[in-house]
């Protein structure tokens, strides 16, 4: 479903960010992407989201290839790949419900379907009662839940999470992680970048892909022959 | 889709009215300079046209011209493509005009035993043929008729008017383009500021899979509305400046309605184009 094949990514100023990265994330799989700061975790997520194109190699996501995808098809890919960040990235001048509705409106959803879908997603992330609250009125954990709801709005096949609990206290972090696990349990694959090794050890049943200086140094789930 | 664009554009203007007012004011002031230039250019044009309307070829006729020859000449000259109007001034009318126009020689004229003034044809040219070459050509053609004594058309001042018009046209074009470029640069910078102020919103649109077209539309509409506001402001300021100057310093004519409405609409289109350019740059820079 997501395949990185010998991916290199070089930035003009900072140099080589990814070196010969290859892995295959299967449908419904949960994988941690670990490694120290600057190891290339965020760049891996960006090449999957096609916010960055590989300098060499190929990224395949749900039928799209980084080698062949046209600029106008990238929005279609992004509707199949949900993404959340450490800093939530909610629009501060819109309510919780408006933040979710916005993601539907800008992708051309019909007005009749927006309200129902927003309510369903708010219920799914446990924030149905906070529909009218602005982001600054929510706790960090609640804001991340809204960001996750927004990432799920187009029923993606995979959720990419870039240090989603990095800004949260322990209790909020646990609750957000449980939500992400629930989402995975319902069939959505998850690729979660984190440098929280305690979390990775605690959930040792999940696959771990470890990066150091842009290269994969360990992959607990590389068993299907991808080089 | 259209509903979303209109709603988002209006909501954006209401969310940040300060920025919208700043943008419209900056567009308005840029176009105000163009507006002032437009009024000056228009009045120069009107003045030149008034002078040019007086360009005419006068053919003085021999005294022995017959009525039939006169009719042939009139018909021929009227059929020249350059000619707008031909009028015949008889010897009697020439004398009457002379007496009226040159009152100080009234006694001299009335004491004459015979009328020495010739009859003439006054030939007015169409606006497109008032240049020195066309005027000279018409004069030469008329002079070919044997019953035409002499042809006059004020060669020197026709040449000067024509040079003045060409110089005026060139200066107007250069200044107009320079002012328009400055206006476009200021408008572009202003709109770019507005786009940068909303870069997070654009980033989120891209994050959730909005197409470039969908991202652009509300911004383009917002740019058009802001530009139109700036255009209206420029129109008001230009008209106020016109009222302040007209009659007190110099007599001016207000520009035609098509210029005023065209200028205002140009504000909207400039806002639209500047938004489009700023977004295009933004969308390609932040892939």
Rounded CA separation B278/B77 (Å): 59
- Measured between beta carbons, which residues in chain A are less than 8 angstroms from residue B199? none
Cβ–Cβ gap A89/B204 under 8 Å: yes
Which of A70, A72, A78, A106 is best to mutate for the B interface (most B CBs within 10 A)?
A: A106
What is the pLDDT confidence band of residue B271, given thresholds at 50, 70 and 90?
Answer: confident
**Residue B146's Cα: distance from chain center in Å?**
42
Subunit contact A89:B207, Cβ cutoff 8 A: yes
Under a CB-based contact definition with an 8 Å cutoff, are residues A189 and A26 in contact? yes
What CATH number should be reported for the domain holding residue A158?
3.40.50.300
How many contacts (CB atoms, under 8 Å) link A and B?
Answer: 51
Q: Is residue A104, in this structure, part of any structural domain at all?
A: yes
In chain A, which residue's Cα lies nearest the Cα of B203? A89
B215 contacts A106? CB cut-off 8 A:
yes
Q: Which residue has the higher pLDDT, B53 or A55?
A: A55
In a domain, A21, yes or no: yes
Give the pLDDT of residue A222: 62
Full strand arrangement of the beta sheet holding B120-125? B83-89, B120-125, B56-61, B148-152
Task: Give the model's pLDDT for residue B103.
Answer: 75
Q: Is residue A224 part of a domain?
A: no
Contacts of B201 (CB under 8 A, 6+ apart): A91
A207-212 and A30-34: which strand pairing? Answer: parallel
Task: Assess whether pLDDT exceeds 60 at residue A227.
Answer: no
Please state, in angstroms and rounded to a whole number, the distance separating the CA atoms of residues B48 and A57.
70
E strands of chain B, at which residues?
Answer: 56-61, 83-89, 120-125, 148-152
Residue B1 confidence (pLDDT): 58
> For residue A185, is it within any domain?
yes
For the segment B152-189, what is each residue's pLDDT rounded down to a tens digit?
Answer: 887 777 778 778 878 878 887 888 788 778 777 777 77
Is B208 close to A93, i.e. CB distance below 8 A? no
CA A29, CA A44: separation in Å to the nearest integer? 17
Question: CB–CB of A51 and B287 under 8 A?
Answer: yes
Instruction: Please state the domain extents for chain B.
Output: 2-50+161-286, 56-152
Residue with tokens 């302040």: B244
Global ipTM:
0.87
* pLDDT above 90: residue B196: no
Greater pLDDT, B143 or B20: B143
User: Which residues of chain B have a CB within 8 Å of the CB of A91?
Assistant: 200-201, 204
Q: Which of A91-95, A153-157, B6-10, B83-87 has the lowest mean pLDDT?
A: B6-10
Query: What's the mean pLDDT in B13-23?
Result: 78
To which H or E segment does residue A216 belong? strand A215-219
Residue A92 phi/psi, 5-degree rounding, is: -75, -20
pLDDT at A226: 40
Domain that holds residue A67: 2-219
Beta bridge partners of B87: B122
Q: If you ran DSSP here, which 8-state letter would residue B252 be given?
A: -
Model pLDDT for residues A166-209, shown as the tens digit of each residue:
989 999 999 999 999 999 999 999 999 998 999 999 999 999 99
Q: Indicate the SS3 state at residue A33.
A: strand
- Residue B134: predicted pLDDT: 87
pLDDT at position B213, please?
86
For residue A47, the chain B residue with the least C-alpha distance is: B287
Per-residue pLDDT of A8-62, as tens digits, reads 999 998 899 999 999 999 999 999 999 999 999 999 999 999 999 999 999 999 9
Q: pLDDT tier at A160 (50, 70, 90 boundaries)?
A: very high
Identify which of B80, B97, B98 has the alpha carbon closest to the alpha carbon of residue B140.
Answer: B80
User: Is position A184 within any domain?
Assistant: yes
Kindly report the average pLDDT of chain B as a whole number.
84
Residue A125: band (very low, low, confident or very high) from pLDDT cuts 50, 70, 90: very high
The arrangement of secondary structure in B56-152, i.e. its CATH architecture, is 2-Layer Sandwich (3.30)
Domain count, chain A: 1
Helix (H, G, I), strand (E, B) or coil at A56: strand
Let me know: does A25 contact A2? Beta carbons within 8 Å: yes
What mean pLDDT do residues B62-78 have? 89
């Amino acid at each position: 479903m997501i395949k990185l094949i010998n991916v290199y990514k070089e930035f003009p100023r900072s140099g080589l960010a990814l070196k010969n990265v290859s892995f295959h994330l299967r449908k419904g799989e949960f994988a941690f992407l670990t490694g120290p700061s600057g190891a290339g975790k965020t760049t891996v997520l960006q090449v999957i989201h096609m916010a960055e194109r590989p300098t060499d190699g190929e990224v395949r996501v749900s039928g799209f290839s980084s080698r062949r995808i046209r600029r106008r098809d990238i929005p279609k890919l992004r509707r199949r790949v949900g993404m959340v960040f450490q800093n939530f990235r909610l629009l501060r001048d819109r309510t919780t419900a408006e933040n979710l509705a916005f993601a539907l409106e800008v992708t051309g959803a019909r007005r009749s379907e927006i309200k129902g879908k927003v309510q369903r997603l708010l219920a799914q992330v446990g924030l149905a009662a906070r529909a009218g609250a602005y982001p600054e009125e929510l706790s960090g954990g609640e804001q991340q839940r809204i960001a996750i709801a927004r990432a799920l709005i187009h029923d993606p096949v995979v959720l990419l999470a870039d240090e989603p609990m990095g800004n949260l206290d322990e209790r909020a972090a646990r609750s957000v992680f449980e939500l992400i696990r629930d989402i995975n349990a319902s069939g959505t694959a998850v690729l979660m970048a984190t440098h929280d090794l305690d979390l990775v050890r605690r959930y040792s049943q999940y696959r771990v892909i470890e990066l150091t200086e842009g290269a994969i140094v360990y992959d607990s789930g590389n068993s299907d022959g991808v080089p | 889709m259209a509903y979303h664009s209109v709603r988002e554009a209006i909501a954006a203007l209401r969310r940040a009215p300060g920025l919208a007012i700043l943008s419209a004011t900056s567009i308005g002031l840029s176009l105000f300079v163009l507006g002032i230039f437009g009024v000056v250019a228009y009045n120069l044009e009107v003045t030149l046209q008034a002078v040019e309307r007086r360009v005419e070829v006068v053919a003085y006729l021999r005294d022995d011209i017959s009525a039939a020859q006169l009719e042939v000449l009139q018909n021929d000259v009227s059929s020249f493509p350059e000619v707008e109007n031909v009028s015949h001034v008889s010897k009697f009318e020439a004398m009457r005009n002379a007496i009226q126009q040159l009152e100080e020689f009234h006694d001299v004229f009335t004491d004459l035993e015979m009328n020495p003034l010739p009859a003439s044809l006054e030939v007015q040219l169409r606006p497109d043929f008032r240049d020195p070459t066309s005027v000279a050509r018409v004069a030469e053609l008329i002079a070919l008729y044997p019953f035409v004594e002499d042809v006059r058309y004020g060669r020197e001042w026709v040449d000067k008017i024509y040079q003045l018009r060409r110089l005026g046209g060139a200066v107007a074009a250069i200044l107009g383009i320079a002012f328009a470029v400055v206006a476009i640069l200021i408008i572009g910078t202003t709109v770019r500021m507005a786009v940068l102020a909303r870069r997070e919103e654009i980033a989120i649109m891209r994050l959730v899979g909005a197409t470039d077209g969908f991202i652009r539309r509300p911004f383009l509409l917002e740019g058009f509305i802001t530009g139109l506001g700036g255009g209206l402001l420029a129109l008001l300021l230009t008209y106020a400046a016109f009222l302040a100057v007209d009659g007190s310093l110099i007599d001016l004519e207000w520009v035609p309605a098509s210029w005023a409405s065209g200028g205002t609409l140009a504000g909207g289109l400039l806002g639209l184009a500047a938004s489009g350019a700023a977004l295009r740059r933004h969308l390609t820079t932040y892939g």
